[in-house]
Amino acid sequence: MKSVVLFNGSPRMDGNIATIMGVVARGAQDAGAEVKNYTLFKMKFMACMSSFNCRREKGECPIQDELAEAIERVKKADAVVIGSPIYMMQMSGPVKNLYDRLFPLMDSDGSPRYPGKKFLTVYSQAVDDPQTYETYFDYTAAMFPSFGFNLIGNIVCTNANDPENAERNADLKIRAYALGKALVR
Ligand SMILES: Cc1cc2nc3c(=O)[nH]c(=O)nc-3n(C[C@H](O)[C@H](O)[C@H](O)COP(=O)(O)O)c2cc1C
């Protein structure tokens, strides 16, 4: 059975990211995957401490917290989804901390230690134009190959201050469901 790991980086438990991640998860489950959801704002975890332990041979991260188990699951997963609201024109703080903690997934030369994972990003933003942060999304995506993440799509929910906007957007949910399935194919 294929495994998919999802990280929700929004503090709003019933917000737009939660809605979209739920639909993506359903698509992946309907395609036969085992799905594991993590809500970063419910987890106690530290930022990367820059021990560089993971850069020595295949050294492990010395931080043992709630994120450590999730990262082990990511290493073994077939597909990963990371969803974040846009705060101050960037991903939310916990999502940035998650990416930093994924440092052990890449080797010192930038090559992936666990290659071949399908990857999907989900962002929500207040502004109406879905292209507003496109340059940022592309810039951020440059790190994904080093994690072994092959980006298959990016879902952007606009006008997202209203927590129910994604729920009302049928087209967005259809795309989210299809991409959830595509993670498993
Ligand atoms: C601290 C903070 C900073 C924000 N900065 C931006 C921003 O730079 N651009 C933007 O479009 N929306 C911004 N927003 C709005 C959020 O992106 C929006 O409320 C969020 O995507 C809602 O998603 P959710 O329902 O999944 O929590 C900001 C919101 C907060 C709380």
Going from the Cα of 125 to the center of ligand 1, the distance in angstroms, rounded, reads: 5
Domains defined along the chain, listed by start: 3-182 (3.40.50.360)
Residue 89 in contact with ligand 1 by CB distance below 6 A: yes
Distance 95 CA to ligand 1 centre (A): 14
**pLDDT tens for the 185 residues of the chain, in order:** 999 999 999 999 999 999 999 999 999 999 999 999 999 999 999 999 999 999 887 778 999 999 999 999 999 999 999 999 999 999 999 999 999 999 999 999 999 999 999 999 999 999 999 999 999 999 999 999 999 999 999 999 999 999 999 999 999 999 999 999 999 98
Distance between terminal CA atoms of the chain? 12
Per-residue confidence (pLDDT) for residue 8, from 0 to 100: 98
- Among protein residues, the one whose CA lies closest to atom 5 of ligand 1: 87
pTM for the model stands at: 0.98
Separation between Cα atoms, residue 21 and residue 88, nearest integer Å: 22
User: Can you state the angle between helices 16-30 and 170-182, rounded to 10 degrees?
Assistant: 40
DSSP string, 56-72: STTPPP---SHHHHHHH
Q: Give pLDDT, residue 57.
A: 74
